[in-house]
């Protein structure tokens, strides 16, 4: 199975493949982010070390199967969040997910991490579109997609309704194609 590199860099962030030995760092990052994550991330309400260990174990399995490539977002070796490329939107596509610890928001780190994932995603064989999905009540997530040059491809009711307490149950889908991403490369290099 084709794999992306375990380390990716963009701007001031480094993405490092999650490893089971990261449990302490993951647990610390989630524990100081609970109020910030709970409105949007269904797993935050039940987070504990056991759930963190299960996440890291699943990440190993899904990396090997090619289902999900999950990375810690780090800055100067500190874990400041998490992100990943997910094969769950059909052939030719990858969905990007991300979260940051609240004290690391507002500095462009999520946009940098997502940019590294898009660059890498389009290097994987057969990938011609990248998407970001978020609830309509979560504009901070959509702003990351907009900043990178994604365009809104549609919005509609989430099949199972709201998954977390802050959600409306309306999913917004942002998309960029490989050609659009290539066309925006020189503008991104100027930033």
Q: With respect to ligand COA, which residue has the nearer C-beta, 63 or 99?
A: 99
Question: At closest approach, how far in Å is the CB of 28 from ligand COA?
Answer: 16
Sole window of 57-65, 108-116, 123-131, 178-186 interacting with ligand COA (rule: CB under 6 A): 108-116
The three-state secondary structure class of 165 is: coil
The three-state secondary structure class of 148 is: coil
**Both tokens assigned to 147:** 């900043």
**Among residue numbers 127 through 146, which ones bind ligand COA (CB under 6 A)?**
134, 138, 140-141, 144
Could you tell me the CA-to-CA distances from 167 to 59, 121, 163 in Å, in that order?
25, 27, 7
Question: At closest approach, how far in Å is the CB of 53 from ligand COA?
Answer: 21
Provide the 10 A C-beta neighbour count for residue 189: 7
Q: Which of 9, 16, 146, 147 binds ligand COA (CB under 6 A)?
A: 147
Q: How many residues bind ligand COA (CB under 6 A)?
A: 20
Per-residue binding string, ligand COA, 68-107, x by CB under 6 A, is ------------------------------xxx----xxx
Q: With respect to ligand COA, which residue has the nearer C-beta, 3 or 32?
A: 32
**Both tokens assigned to 152:** 């809104």
Q: With respect to ligand COA, which residue has the nearer C-beta, 111 or 120?
A: 111
Q: With respect to ligand COA, which residue has the nearer C-beta, 59 or 75?
A: 75
Q: What share of the chain is helix, strand, coil (3-state, %, to 5)?
A: 40, 30, 30
Could you tell me the CA-to-CA distances from 6 to 16, 73, 84, 169 in Å, in that order?
6, 12, 12, 34
Yes or no: say if 92 and 127 are a contact pair by the CB < 8 Å rule.
Answer: yes
Residue found by looking up tokens 């609970």 in the block: 34
Residues in contact with ligand COA by the rule CB under 6 A: 36-37, 40-41, 98-100, 105-111, 134, 138, 140-141, 144, 147
């Amino acid at each position: 199975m084709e794999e992306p590199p375990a380390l990716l860099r963009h701007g001031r962030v480094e993405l490092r493949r999650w490893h089971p030995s990261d449990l302490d760092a993951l647990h610390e990052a989630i524990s100081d982010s609970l109020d910030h994550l709970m409105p949007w991330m269904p797993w935050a309400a039940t987070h504990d070390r056991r759930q963190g260990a299960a996440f890291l174990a699943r990440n190993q399995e899904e990396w090997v199967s090619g289902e999900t490539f999950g990375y810690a977002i780090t800055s100067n070796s500190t874990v400041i969040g998490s992100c990943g490329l997910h094969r769950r939107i059909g052939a030719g596509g990858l969905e990007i997910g991300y979260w940051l610890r609240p004290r690391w928001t507002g500095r462009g780190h999520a946009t940098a991490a997502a940019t590294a994932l898009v660059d890498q995603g389009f290097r994987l064989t057969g990938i011609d579109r990248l998407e970001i999905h978020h609830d309509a009540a979560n504009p901070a997530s959509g702003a990351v997609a907009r900043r990178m040059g994604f365009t809104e491809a549609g919005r509609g009711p989430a099949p199972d309704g709201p998954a977390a307490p802050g959600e409306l149950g309306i999913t917004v889908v942002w998309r960029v194609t490989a050609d659009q991403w290539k066309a925006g490369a020189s503008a991104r290099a100027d930033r």
